[in-house]
Homo-oligomer: A and B are copies of this chain.
Amino acid sequence: MAPTPTAVDLDLAARARVAALVEALPYVQRWAGQTVVVKYGGAAQVSPELSQAVMEDVVLLHQVGVNVVLCHGGGPTVSELGKRLGIVPRFVDGLRVTDEETMRVAQQVQVGLISRDIAAAIGRRGGRALGLSGQDAGGWLRARLYPYTDRVTGAPVDLGRVGEVTEVRAQVLRDLLHDGIIPVVAPVAVDEQLDALNVNADAVATAVAGALGAARLIFLTDVDGIRGPEGTPVPRVSRHQLDLWIATGVVTGGMIPKATACLEALSAGVGRVTVADGRVPHALLLELLTDRGVGTLVEDAPSEPQP
């Protein structure tokens, strides 16, 4: 018998690549067949490099069997187009009013351009995505006029075509995912007459994740997570704790609506929610396929490390 052959050394680069793939295995096993909803916006949407990385992440996750749904916001393009069209912004009680014309501009930009730019970017990497607006599929994303009242007088204030999501008829999302297609959702819903309403993209992502019973909802933000009493971002926080932090003023300012959305998602049956730092390239891959998180994980109860 010949002497037992021994292992041949691998160069460093190959070793690293292989190690990364092997490290990813348990995570891929963890997420395959699960649904993950991503709220896409902020820096991740504005920077071409970050945006490209997000698209690579989405296609890779989809390819290894994750059901990804991408909900995007409108970004600065809407205001810009409005300005060029000479639409003079109107304010009530310090809040911008979305008149019919502004709504049409928002729809044009979000549904006509942004959703399609995303679909094309995913297509360029071999994925298949499809832009969805609330009017599609018999009005799958339903909302009502946002019931805003004047803080002082308590009188109802007409903010125009601004809506609050009321219902996600998720069959079209399930059908598309089953057909191997990544839904790309614009923040445009419809009222009972199927007329368009501008809705908040965070709220859309939360409602969609709830309706699909998503295992994870990820907000790509421009911060490095939720900050605790020490003022530094925490890697994970329980629902109960976060509730307390909001009540006691630990969570403040712009983080409040985000934190509230996290809690709502958990209530709606979403497994866990991540407030991720979208300024980190490939934040989605890092969050889902490596042992390195990027931001704060909000969950029902303190739990063992993942996956």
B107 and A120 contact, CB distance less than 8 A:
no
- The listed residue (B28, B108, B137, B194) touching A108 by CB distance below 8 A is B108
- Does the CB pair A280–B7 fall under 8 Å? yes
Collect the chain B residues with CB atoms within 8 Å of residue A113's CB: 104, 107-108, 112
Q: Encode contact with B along A1-42: 1 for CB under 8 Å, 0 otherwise.
A: 100111110100011111111111110110010000000001
What distance in Å separates the Cβ of A128 from its nearest Cβ neighbour in chain B?
4
Do residues B14 and A290 form an inter-chain contact, with CB atoms below 8 A? yes
* Chain B contacts for A135, CB-based, 8 A: 116-117, 119-120, 123, 131
Interface range, A side:
35 or more
Interface residues of A in 150-186 (CB under 8 A from B): 172, 175, 179, 181
State the oligomeric state as a number of copies. 6
- Roughly how many angstroms separate A306 CA and B105 CA in the complex, as a whole number? 39
* Inter-subunit contact A136/B107 (CB<8 Å): no
* Contact A277 B132, beta carbon cutoff 8 Å: no
Task: Add 7 more A-B contacts to A7-B280, A21-B282, A111-B111 (CB < 8 A).
Answer: A18-B281, A20-B21, A22-B53, A28-B63, A63-B64, A119-B135, A123-B135
Which of A44-52, A211-219, A241-249, A296-304 faces chain B? Answer: A44-52
A231 smallest CB distance to B (angstroms): 18
| Nearest residue, chain B, Cβ from A277 | B8
Whether B172 contacts A28 by the Cβ 8 Å rule is no
The interface of chain A, by Cβ under 8 A from chain B, is: 1, 4-8, 10, 14-26, 28-29, 32, 42-43, 46-47, 49-50, 53, 56, 59-60, 63-65, 76, 79, 84-86, 104, 107-113, 116-117, 119-120, 122-133, 135-139, 172, 175, 179, 181, 188, 190, 193-196, 222, 224, 277, 279-282, 285-286, 289-290, 292
* CB-based contact B112/A14 at 8 Å: no
In the complex, A195 Cα to B190 Cα: how many Å? 29
Given known A5-B279, A126-B138, A282-B10, contact A28–B60 (CB-CB < 8 A): yes
Within the complex, the shortest CB–CB distance from A72 to chain B, in Å, comes to: 14
